[in-house]
Amino acid sequence: MDVDPQLLLLRRQYLQLFEPDFLAWPSPKLLKNVDAQKWLHRHLFDTNRNPHLPPESYQLRVLKQLTSKMGKGKANLDSDGVLGELAACLTSLIAKKVSSEIKVFQENAYVTFTCIPEKRNDYEDTSEPTLTLLEKRQLVSGSQITGFRTWEGSLHLGSYLLTEAGSHFVNGKNILELGTGTGFNAILAGKHLHANHVTATDGDGGVIEALRENLTLNKIDDQQQVRARTLLWGQDLKGTWVEDGCRAHPYDIVLGADITYEKSAISALVLTLQSLFDMRPKLQVIISGVVRNAETFQTFRDQCASHHFVVEDIQFEAKPMRQQKSLFYAAAVPLKLLSITRP
């Protein structure tokens, strides 16, 4: 059957581990449709067809709400042949006595992001381009180990790169990413946005090892498409692998998301940008971030100005969450995109 957009939206949110209480549930009429029910089981709960589903505790929470919205209790499900597959799945998850929420919250989880270009013609292209990451969902913003999950600033940057204007920054370009974390934007650029080459860097060796796993998960060749390397900010880059990498793949664009929240690291970050501009004077830097602390964000602007960088705001507003069709993230917090160049 032609898949109803309500079902596709639910699957996109579900695979991104959207909070179940805020999922965009299809209409009751659609949920009672036999084909829709079969589709939901096949694409949201069937482990044979979907090797990277959300944690079972999350599946159980969603499935309980789903069956409730269908107007079916467990007893009715068991006796209803139409909903037999969903009933079996629900029974299985309950029987497993899935781990407590606290335990699951501390475990790694597969998170799948749907990456739909803004100008896609749905009449010609009905594919669902995705990338899947293994993340630690228990991390909190502002901690010292934030690189193991994807934050709002990264999703905001990714949403911009999926627009017609943003795609020009990566299509056919050589990219260096600072503070890559899970590698969301590096993988997006290399897998879906036709970047020529991406070098993804982070200062934490453990984050880089996790990134290499995510590259393998997305069938990306580490070295050719996306290269993962450790890079500490504030050091002179001359004579380092960065200079060698720049000769092999001359950087056109530097990307950075969620890297301006730590005031103590801003000076080192700006020194690294200065060193990169010395190697590539026509380089363009794009920084995305949540303005959690206005003073800290202004400190970054001020230090860029003290190095005579030209800092401009990129006008790109996040859509309210209920209007988002993919890459779901909170839009209530202040989000900024900056373009930085050197005269």
Whether 122 and 227 share a structural domain:
yes
For position 332, what pLDDT does the model report? 84
Q: Last residue of a domain, which of 77, 101, 125?
A: 101
Instruction: Answer whether 0.95 is exceeded by the pTM.
Output: no
Whether 204 and 270 share a structural domain:
yes
Whether 157 and 186 share a structural domain:
yes
For 135-160, write each residue's pLDDT tens digit. Answer: 986 644 444 445 578 999 999 999 99
Percent of the chain with pLDDT over 90: 75
Whether 84 and 173 share a structural domain:
no
Q: Last residue of a domain, which of 84, 101, 118?
A: 101
DSSP 255-299: EEES-SS-GGGHHHHHHHHHHHHHH-TT-EEEEEEE-S-HHHHHH
Whether 137 and 194 share a structural domain:
yes
For position 292, what pLDDT does the model report? 87
For position 96, what pLDDT does the model report? 81
Number of domains in the chain: 2
Whether 75 and 198 share a structural domain:
no
pLDDT band at 199 (very low <50, low <70, confident <90, very high): very high
For position 81, what pLDDT does the model report? 45
For position 74, what pLDDT does the model report? 47
Nearest to 51 by CA among 110, 104, 11: 110
The mean of the pLDDT values for the chain is: 89
Residues 300-305 have a mean pLDDT of 97
Q: Last residue of a domain, which of 101, 119, 153?
A: 101
For position 28, what pLDDT does the model report? 92
Q: Note the Cα 155 to chain centre separation in Å.
A: 5
Residues 101-126 have a mean pLDDT of 75
Region of poorest pLDDT, from 60-69, 92-101, 211-220, 297-306: 92-101
Whether 164 and 263 share a structural domain:
yes
Q: Which two tokens stand for residue 120?
A: 């896609």
Q: How many CA atoms lie within 13 A of 243 on its CB side?
A: 9
Whether 244 and 286 share a structural domain:
yes
| 3-class state of residue 101 by DSSP | helix
For position 328, what pLDDT does the model report? 96
Whether 232 and 282 share a structural domain:
yes
CATH code at position 137: 3.40.50.150
| Cβ 311 vs Cβ 285: under 8 Å | no
Whether 173 and 248 share a structural domain:
yes
pLDDT band at 84 (very low <50, low <70, confident <90, very high): confident
Whether 119 and 169 share a structural domain:
yes
Domain encompassing residue 30: 5-101
Whether 229 and 91 share a structural domain:
no
